[in-house]
């Protein structure tokens, strides 16, 4: 497995010092660097020669495997034909076609797609659309956005305001949106530890929205934004009936419901979107990541026709929405997205994710009773294992397990003391079971 020539990556302190790495323990990393050299299918090749299984599909974003030949071919052809095209007051045909395809895949053929370059930008775009929508309808006092504790909506100023991760927020209070409030998160270990799929207890957490409405009044609230399944928070799965109730309360009070589908979009739950899996229809959905297998940055917002039409007023020669990015609908990213959607369709990979979900569920729950494990959660082709922290050193236990798992040939994701897994849709059942066995050995190798 490791009989590949080693690359000659320079890992000296000098070579690594300039890149200030994102969401990374820079000093720990640079003292003990872990460099990726190449990727193919469900595996990465590390610079030290090791081949490791990609347990999180990159960062939840490469479900059809790395360097898929059809994406490689599409991107190469695109750069020869059109490397960049402005999307302000000009357009290129593949972008219109991609918007149509995404709306159709979402089962919302009348929706409209606004392209961004990341999930963070998609979130900030959706929040701006929500506030502008109400204003255009003469409801200008609806400016509050309601997020959720432990939610992750990227790192834009809007996203951290509605997000619920304290470390991402605490430094930036003066810059955050005014008037934001938060729903409670839905995880309660006493009632739902080791649940398989959706916990049956906890739908009542949605009623907190009624309390928030009673506090602020519906006339001040523009939108609620939630991830259908909280991914970065550690695969926090919505209780049965919870999202339905959020939908009902939003509709009752004229509040837009936004699903942040950056992780759940394009098949992670075994359906095209989380909205399909849970059978709850939001007014807007954000997406990014798997839309083009993360080959080239791309994100976007799906907005209901009624929202789009609300903007289509005023003189026809005037810009309706003063918002956009130089790279919105970048031709290279769009080409990669078409190829990705082709592969998902032709290789029936969303169906395959659904078939693999029970394999992952059975395997991951077999870790119950292993050292350090305090909870296991799963839904679709995603799972998390929560570990007991080392006293006084939160996060260190997961780092230790991560390092051992890497030695076993499995690159898992750790965040705080939670391990997350979201294997590529192209994985085999044996690879998923092997991943869990690798993690089991890693858990056992870390001292209690
Ligand atoms: N919304 C959601 C729901 C996300 O999960 C973003 C927005 C932001 O997307 P960008 O493209 O701006 O990063 C995300 C990103 C992890 C992990 O390990 C998750 C994300 C990114 C990196 C790591 O859980 N989610």
**Same structural domain for residues 147 and 215?**
yes
Against a cut of 0.75, is the pTM above it? yes
Helix (H, G, I), strand (E, B) or coil at 435: helix
| End-of-domain residue from the set 346, 376, 395 | 346
Mean pLDDT to the nearest integer, 400-426: 97
Instruction: Judge contact between 179 and 144, C-beta under 8 A.
Output: yes
Number of independent structural domains in the chain: 2
The pairing of beta strand 256-260 with beta strand 284-287: parallel
Q: Is residue 4 part of a domain?
A: no
Which of 127, 152, 275 most suits a substitution to test ligand 1, by most atoms within 8 Å of the C-beta? 152
Q: Is residue 407 part of a domain?
A: yes
Residue position matching structure tokens 């970065």: 232
Domain of 78, in residue numbers:
70-346
| Atom of ligand 1 minimally distant from the CA of 413 | 18
CA distance 84 to 186: 43
Residue 190, judged by CB atoms within 10 A of its CB (0-12, 13-18, 19+), counts as exposed
**Same structural domain for residues 356 and 385?**
yes
**Same structural domain for residues 58 and 192?**
no
DSSP 8-state class, residue 7: P
Cα of 25 vs centre of ligand 1, distance in Å, is 18
226 Cβ neighbours under 8 A, 6+ residues apart: 147, 148, 151, 183, 243, 246, 257, 258, 259, 260
Instruction: Judge contact between 297 and 325, C-beta under 8 A.
Output: no
Cβ–ligand 1 contact at 156 (below 6 Å): no
**Same structural domain for residues 187 and 155?**
yes
Cβ–ligand 1 contact at 120 (below 6 Å): yes
Nearest-CA residue for atom 19 of ligand 1: 232
**Same structural domain for residues 308 and 376?**
no
Cα of 300 vs centre of ligand 1, distance in Å, is 13
**Same structural domain for residues 229 and 243?**
yes
**Same structural domain for residues 287 and 309?**
yes
Q: pLDDT tens digits for 285-337? A: 999 999 999 999 999 999 999 999 999 999 999 999 999 999 999 999 999 99
Cβ–ligand 1 contact at 151 (below 6 Å): no
Q: Is residue 386 part of a domain?
A: yes
Cβ–ligand 1 contact at 277 (below 6 Å): no
Helix (H, G, I), strand (E, B) or coil at 209: helix
Which of 56, 229, 263, 300 most suits a substitution to test ligand 1, by most atoms within 8 Å of the C-beta? 263
Residue percentage of the chain with pLDDT more than 90 = 96
**Same structural domain for residues 419 and 318?**
no
| End-of-domain residue from the set 346, 364, 380 | 346
| End-of-domain residue from the set 346, 362, 396 | 346
Which of 57, 159, 185, 232 most suits a substitution to test ligand 1, by most atoms within 8 Å of the C-beta? 232
Q: Read off the CATH number of the domain in which 320 is found.
A: 3.40.640.10
Q: Is residue 1 part of a domain?
A: no
**Same structural domain for residues 58 and 86?**
no
Q: What is the pLDDT of residue 7?
A: 59
Q: Is residue 286 part of a domain?
A: yes
Q: pLDDT tens digits for 105-157? A: 999 999 999 999 999 999 999 999 999 999 999 999 999 999 999 999 999 99
Structure tokens at 99: 């918007």
């Amino acid at each position: 497995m490791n009989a590949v020539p080693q690359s000659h990556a320079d890992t000296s302190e000098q070579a690594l010092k300039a890149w200030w790495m994102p969401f990374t323990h820079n000093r720990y990393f640079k003292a003990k660097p872990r460099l990726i050299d190449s990727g193919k299918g469900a595996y990465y090749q590390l610079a030290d020669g090791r081949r490791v299984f990609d347990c999180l599909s990159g960062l939840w974003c490469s479900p059809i495997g790395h360097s898929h030949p059809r994406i490689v071919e599409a991107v190469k052809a695109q750069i020869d034909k059109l490397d960049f095209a402005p999307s302000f007051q000009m357009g290129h045909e593949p972008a219109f076609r991609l918007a149509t395809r995404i709306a159709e895949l979402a089962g919302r053929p009348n929706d409209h797609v606004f392209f961004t370059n990341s999930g963070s930008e998609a979130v900030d775009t959706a929040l701006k659309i929500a506030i502008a929508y109400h204003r255009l309808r003469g409801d200008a006092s609806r400016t509050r956005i309601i997020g959720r504790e432990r939610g992750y909506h990227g790192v834009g100023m809007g996203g951290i305001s509605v997000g619920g991760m304290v470390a991402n927020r605490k430094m930036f209070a003066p810059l955050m949106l005014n008037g934001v409030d938060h729903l409670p998160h839905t995880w309660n270990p006493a009632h739902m530890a080791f649940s398989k799929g959706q916990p049956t207890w906890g739908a009542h957490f949605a009623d907190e929205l009624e309390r928030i409405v009673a506090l602020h009044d519906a006339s001040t609230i523009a939108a609620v934004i939630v991830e259908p399944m909280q991914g970065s928070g550690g695969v926090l799965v919505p209780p049965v009936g919870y999202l339905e109730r959020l939908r009902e309360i939003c509709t009752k009070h004229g509040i837009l419901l936004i699903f942040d589908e950056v992780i759940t979009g394009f098949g992670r739950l075994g359906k095209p979107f989380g909205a399909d899996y849970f059978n709850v229809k939001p007014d807007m959905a954000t997406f990014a990541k798997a839309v083009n297998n993360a080959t080239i940055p791309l994100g976007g917002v799906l907005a209901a026709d009624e929202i789009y039409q609300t903007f289509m007023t005023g003189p026809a020669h005037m810009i309706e929405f003063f918002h956009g990015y130089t790279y919105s609908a970048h031709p290279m990213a769009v080409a990669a997205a078409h190829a990705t959607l082709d592969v998902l369709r032709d290789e029936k990979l969303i169906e395959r994710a659904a078939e693999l979900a029970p394999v992952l569920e059975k395997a991951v729950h077999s870790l119950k009773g292993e050292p350090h494990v305090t909870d296991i959660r799963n839904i679709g082709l995603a799972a998390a294992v929560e570990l007991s922290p080392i006293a006084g050193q939160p996060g260190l236990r997961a780092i230790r397990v991560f390092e051992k798992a890497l030695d076993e040939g499995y690159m898992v994701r750790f965040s705080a003391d939670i391990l997350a897994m979201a294997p590529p849709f192209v994985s085999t059942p044996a690879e998923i079971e092997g991943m869990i066995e690798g993690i089991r050995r890693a858990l056992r190798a870390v001292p209690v």
